[in-house]
Structure formats: structure tokens, C-alpha cells
Amino acid sequence: MTDLTRIDGAELAGLLASGEVSSVEATQAHLDRIAAVDGEIHAFLHVNAGALDEARRIDERRAAGEQLHELAGAPVAIKDVLCTIGMPSTSGSRILEGWVPPYDATPVARLKAAGLVALGKTNMDEFAMGSSTEHSAYGPTRNPWDRERIPGGSGGGSAAAVAAFEAPFALGSDTGGSIRQPAAVTGSVGVKPTYGGVSRYGAIALASSLDQVGPVSRTVLDSALIHDVIGGHDPHDSTSLQREWPSFAAAAREGAAAGSLQGLKVGVIRELDSEGIAPDVHARFQEAVRLIEGAGGEVVEVSVPSIEYAVAAYYLILPAEASSNLARFDSVRFGLRVERPGQTVEDVMAASREAGFGAEVKRRIILGTYALSAGYYDAYYGSAQQVRTLIQRDFDAAFAQVDLLVSPAAPTTAFRFGEKVGDPLAMYANDITTIPANLAGIPGMALPMGLGDDGLPVGLQLLAPLFEDARLYRAGATIEALLAEQWGGILAHQAPQLTEVAR
Ligand code: GLN
């Protein structure tokens, strides 16, 4: 029988829909895979003890002849930043250790309503601050391609789970690249939707003006299928867009069938194709650009000059918003409480936050509080907001010339544990390729584009104008199909290294 963990989500969903495979079988196969490899990978912080019961209920409904969603019965992994009824939601932090929310985040609720089965909660940098999962309070996740290397971050757990066949689909959140960068370094696909395209209700807030929930998977179509389920207006999120979205799965299927990019004007972002990009990543990127041209895409170089200031602006705006969002962890209403008899409420709050937050979280709270303080507000936070406007304008100008922008999704392949964790600025600088899209609110996708000199995955980033997420799926699926043809063996699900993990 087919190994149900090795096939893509769409294929698995097809087997479930036709009744060839039950949800219990599909779920059990993935739970077995988690049991076999997650001791090594540590993609999961929590495995859902109720998963098989949920699967059984889907099987019963199907057997009763109920018309179910096309993904019903398929398993999915959920980043721990998302609130889940009945499962702890820690956001990778000690301050929320063991906290079980009383409600589901909207993206989770929508997956459940469609009949998907949550396998568990995936590891992440604490409060989604980081690019390696080394800032998780519960220990890092390992990259399935090389266990001495980081799986990216903050959503390294979701990307590693998908790359190691522990789940066909996962949810992530992307504030500055936390879906796209982990996808890039694990040979997976990840999408940050247009800001407001997916509800943030129940996503533990990092920086509210930047956060977006999105899919991670091994194929473009699988991400599109999940995006179709989780997206769309939600009255619980005031920044949720009220608009009709096209079917992203239909766009992906069209793109894969088209086999051509005829009529598509593609801009190479000059500022992301220069210094700071590793030579092997640059070489793969050049090959991808030639492939786009070969497929009929018209490629031009485009400048987004203010990208130069993106990292600096982001690392003022993000800490500012985070310092305000994280004020809710006051040890009074929920979460860790450290108290000794006779202490004042301030003492208890201070002791709880001191014990509950890790070093990176504290660093950003301090940075953000400083940037927002009287006398510095204009110089720091105010200037950063002005840069943000410039970046939005630069992207508008770029998209007046082209339909799609491309760049490497991450500057290097997966780096080694310890390489950047002691040097916050080096870790921040790593986000240069992904941060601009969050500042502009535009949608972005990372997809595999081959292997670096070290045999590790390299990611291609596609960026589209606001609301044009479907364009990413259409072009992404075309490029994915052409790349698979040209470089057979590049995708995560063909990685030889992964067989080894299974032993
Ligand atoms: N590396 C970025 C940061 O540390 C990404 C954050 C994110 O997207 N959640 O802020």
C-alpha cells in the first residue's frame, strides 16, 4: 500500500474523498511518522491526543453519505502561535506553558469546519521572534535535511513537519518571513497572504500591522487548498478584508496545466540580487530567472530602492508593536505566575515576566519601549513609519511595470545551530529578503528552486501586488512544474536525506 505520509495533500485528499483511504488510516500514518522521527526533528510541541477520534468522526460522516469538503479527513499541523481549544498554545514561550485557550483561532476553526484533523502544535521561536527556532523556550527544531542545521524561523516546526513527512499541510504565521524563510530552507512551499486576507483572530499577536497566517506544504497546490479554507472575511478581526477571493486551488491547477508564463512580466528586484546573497543561492536564482524566461515570461530588472532601509524600519516597528502586545502577559489573568508571600502586584508581574520571557523577547520589549518613549518616538518609530510608506510606494511603482517580482526567498541555505544566535544583528539581517513584503502588506510565496552547494534547499520568492494572491499560485505552480521537470529530485519529498531520518 502507498505510504500515506509520502504523497502530497491533494493526492491524499483524493484518496480520502473516494473512500480508498479512511481518515483514521491517514491520521494514524502521520501519527506513526511523528512517533518515529519527531524525537530527532522536534517539529511538534504537542501531539493531539484526540486526533484519531476526530478522524473517526469524519469517517462516520462520510460513511453516512454526508457531502464533505474536499480536504475532509486530511491531517494538518498547527503552529503554536494559534489558539486551539483543547490543546496548549504557548507561542513557544514559558510564560504560556500549559495554557489551553478557551477558543479556536479563526483559521483553525475553519480547518476544523472543513473536516481537517489537527495533528498537533508545532514549535517556533518564542512569540515568533526569530529566524531559526533557537529562541523557542522548548528547544530548537532540527532541519530534516541536515539535523545540525536550523529549519528556519520562526515557524521552523511547521516547515520541518511538512519536509519530514509528519504532515502534508501546516499553518504558519508570517510577520517578517516566518512562513517563507522556513519554507525556503526546508525545501517547502509557504505563502504569506495579502495583509487582511486571512483572519488574525486567535493568532497570538506579535506585530499586529504585519502578522498574517498562511499555509506551508510540499506543493503549491496544497498551499492553495489550505489558503482557500482559511481565507476570507472574519468579523472578529477588524483588519480582515471584505472582499471576494478567487479560488487559489483553481489558480494553482491552471498554472500547472498552462506550462507557460507567456504574457507574464516578471521583475527581478535589484536590491535583493546583490550583496548579502550567498553565491550558490545567487546561482540557483539566476537559473530560475532563465527558466522563467524560457517559459515565455518577460524578465526585466526592477528597483525597489527603499528596501535598503527595510530591516532597520522593521526592527523598530515590530518591537514597538510587540512591546505593546506583550504587555497583556501580566501574570494576572493567565500564564505563568511567580509569587512570594508579601509581594506587591508589581513585584509579582516583574518576577513573572522575568522568569517567563526569554532573552530575545526581553530585548525586543526593551527596544520597542524605547522607540515609543517620549522624546524618541519621532526619531525612531516615526521615521520607521515613513520608511514603511516609502517601501509601499516603491512597490506600487514596481508593480506599475511588472506583474510579479522575484528574488531569493532567503539569503543562504540553512545555517548551523549557534551560527547567528549570539549575534542578534546577523539574525535580523537574514530577514532582508522577506521583510519588505510584510511592510508593504503584499502577498509572497517561497517555493523550492533547487539545492545549494551544500546540498541543502534554496528557495525562490514570488511577490505580487496587494490582493493578487492568485497570481502567486498560478505562476508558482507553473514554475514548480517546470523546475520539477528540469531538476527532478529537488523537492523536499524527494530528499534522499529524509529516508535516513526514518531509521
Ligand atoms: N525573523 C523575523 C523576526 O524575527 C520573522 C518574524 C515572523 O515572521 N514572525 O521578527
From CA 270, how far away is CA 259, in angstroms rounded?
A: 27
Higher pLDDT, 69 or 333: 69
Distance, in Å, from the CA atom of 320 to the CA atom of 414, rounded to the nearest integer, reads 29
Q: Are 264 and 475 in contact (CB under 8 A)?
A: yes
Ligand 1, atom 5, residue with closest C-alpha: 176
| pLDDT, average across residues 228-254 | 98
The full length of the chain comes to: 503
Q: Which three cell numbers stand for residue 20?
A: 480508498
| CB of residue 122 inside a 6 A radius of ligand 1 | no
Among 330, 364, 388, the domain boundary falls at 388
Q: How far is the CA of 191 from the centre of ligand 1 (A)?
A: 14
Task: Give residue-wise pLDDT tens across range 96-112.
Answer: 999 999 999 999 999 99
Q: Dig out the grid coordinates for 227 from the structure.
A: 489558503
- Range list of H helices, 167-309: 180-185, 220-230, 248-258, 279-294
264 Cβ closer than 6 Å to some ligand 1 atom:
no
Q: What SS3 state is found at 341?
A: coil
Share of the chain above pLDDT 70, in %: 96
Per-residue pLDDT at 26:
98
- Residue 498: pLDDT above 80? no
Check whether residue 266 and residue 350 sit in a common domain: no
- Same domain for 335 and 412, yes or no, is no
**494 and 347 in one domain?**
no
Within-domain flag for 411: yes
- How far apart are alpha carbons 42 and 271 in whole angstroms? 35
149 CA from centroid of ligand 1 (Å): 18
pLDDT over threshold 80, residue 496: no
Cβ burial 43-55 (10 Å sphere, 16+ → b, else e)? bbbbbbeebeebb
290 contacts 280 by C-beta, under 8 angstroms:
no
Nearest atom in ligand 1 to the alpha carbon of residue 206 is 9
What pLDDT is attached to residue 488? 57
Atom of ligand 1 nearest to the CA of 427: 1
3, part of any domain = no
If phi over 0 gives left and psi between -120 and 50 gives alpha, with beta otherwise, what is residue 189? beta
The verdict on residue 4 lying in a domain is no
* 290 and 337 co-located in one domain: no
Could you give the CA distance from residue 201 to residue 196 in angstroms, rounded to a whole number?
A: 11
Q: Do 320 and 359 lie in a common domain?
A: yes
> What does the pLDDT read at residue 9?
97
Query: 1 lies in a domain?
Result: no
> Do 137 and 215 share a domain, yes or no?
yes
DSSP bridge pairs for 300: 267
Distance 172 CA to ligand 1 centre (A): 12
Last residue of a domain, one of 388, 403, 424: 388
Could you tell me if 115 and 14 lie in one domain? yes
Kindly state whether residue 104 falls inside one of the protein's structural domains.
yes
Pocket test for ligand 1, best of 185, 204, 318 (most atoms within 8 A of CB): 318
CB 406 within 8 A of CB 460: yes
CATH number of the structural domain spanning residue 289 = 3.90.1300.10
Distance 312 CA to ligand 1 centre (A): 13
Query: In this structure, is residue 2 part of a structural domain?
Result: no
Residues 373 and 345 grouped into a single domain: yes
pLDDT, position 487 = 64
For residue 128 and ligand 1, the question of a CB distance below 6 A is answered with yes
Select from 79, 126, 154 the residue to mutate for testing ligand 1; criterion: most ligand atoms less than 8 Å from CB: 154
* Most ligand 1 atoms within 8 A of CB, residue of 80, 122, 125, 433 to mutate: 125
pLDDT in tens, 308-337: 999 999 999 999 999 999 999 999 888 999
Contact of 77 with 158, CB cutoff 8 Å: yes
Residues 414 and 382 grouped into a single domain: no
190 CA distance to ligand 1 centroid (A)? 14
Residues designated catalytic: 79, 154, 178
Domain hosting residue 216, numbered range: 9-307+389-502
In whole angstroms, give the CA distance from residue 44 to residue 159.
11
Rg (CA), the chain: 21
Residue 484 — very low, low, confident or very high, per pLDDT cuts 50/70/90? Answer: confident
Q: Residue 500: pLDDT above 60?
A: no
Same domain, 298 and 329: no
- Rounded Cα distance between 452 and 457, Å, is 6
Q: Classify residue 246: in a domain, yes or no.
A: yes
Q: What is the pLDDT of residue 307?
A: 97
Domain identity same for 393 and 451 = yes
Which one of 333, 360, 388 terminates a domain? 388
Task: Tell whether 151 and 241 lie within a shared domain.
Answer: yes
Count of domains forming the chain:
2
